[in-house]
Amino acid sequence: MLRGKGMSLERLDAANLIALFQSWQQLFAEQREFLIALDGKVGDSDLGITMSKSFAAAAEAVTAEGADAGLSKLLRTAGATMARTAPSTMGTLTATGFLRASKVVEGLDALDTAALAAFWRAYTDGIAERGKAKVGDKTLLDVLDPLTKALEGEAQRGASLGDALTVAAETAEDALEATKSMVAQHGKAAAFQEKTIGLQDAGATVGVFLIRRMADFVASC
Q: Is residue 188 scored above 60 in pLDDT?
A: no
Select the more confidently predicted residue: 194 or 158. Answer: 158
Helix (H) or strand (E) holding 202: helix 202-220
Structural domains in the chain plus CATH codes: 12-220 (1.25.40.340)
3-state class (DSSP) for residue 123: helix
* pLDDT tens sequence across 59-102: 999 999 999 999 999 999 999 999 999 878 889 999 999 999 99
pLDDT value, residue 201: 81
Tens-digit pLDDT profile for residues 27-57: 999 999 999 988 876 666 788 999 999 999 9
Question: What's the rounded Cα separation, in Å, for the pair 33 and 47?
Answer: 9
Closest alpha carbon to 165 in 154, 157, 175, 156: 154
Strand partners, 110: 13
Question: For residue 157, what is the DSSP state?
Answer: T
**Which pLDDT score is estimated for 106?**
97
pLDDT at 200 over 90: no
84, 135, 197 from 129: Cα distances, Å: 20, 12, 25
Angle of CA points 195, 196, 198, to nearest 5°: 100
Is residue 214 scored above 60 in pLDDT? Answer: yes
Per the model's pLDDT, the better-predicted residue between 60 and 6 turns out to be: 60
Model pTM score? 0.88
Burial class (CB in 10 A: 0-12, 13-18, 19+), 35: buried
